[in-house]
Amino acid sequence: MAYSEKPIPPSTEEYKFTSSIPHFGFTEEGYFKAVYSEPAPYGGILHRRAVQEYENSHIMLAHGVPSQVSLLVARLPARFKFMDEDMGIVASLSEEIEPFRLHLIHFGENELNEPELKYYKSLREINRYFWRHSG
């Protein structure tokens, strides 16, 4: 699926890449560890995972960790189900259309180009602005 500025409904088919690459997770004691995701819909997210993403971004920001700012969570209409679970969305503040992620730095630091590095640095500035202007 290519990127598009026009909204595209999410698929209810599994996006197998998310469960095949390790990413950052945490132990019960709060230490980093490599984890694998559960199955996820291609181009979509489960509603409960959207809520978790929203909550996690605010926890990270509250502790000074640069993160995208999650603004809202919504549940999609009932026809959007993945493995019998409701799908949803989490809207986040970002200046870019590309979904650059932290695992790119962790697993492929030497493969990032200058725009990607600039993007990650800009997240810090977005978050600083948000916290200076939020009540």
* Terminal alpha carbon distance of the chain: 39
pTM over 0.75: no
Name the band, by pLDDT with cuts 50, 70 and 90, for residue 92. confident
pLDDT (tens digit per residue) in 18-77: 777 777 777 888 887 878 888 888 888 999 999 999 998 888 888 887 777 889 999 999
Mean pLDDT score of the chain, rounded to an integer? 75
Name the band, by pLDDT with cuts 50, 70 and 90, for residue 129. low
Distant-in-sequence contacts of 101-105, Cβ < 8 A, 24+ apart: 101/23, 102/23, 102/24, 103/21, 103/22, 103/23, 103/24
- The 3-state DSSP composition of the chain as helix, strand, coil percent (nearest 5) reads 35, 20, 40
Contact indicator for 105, 112 with CB cutoff of 8 Å: yes
Q: Domain spans of the chain?
A: 16-130
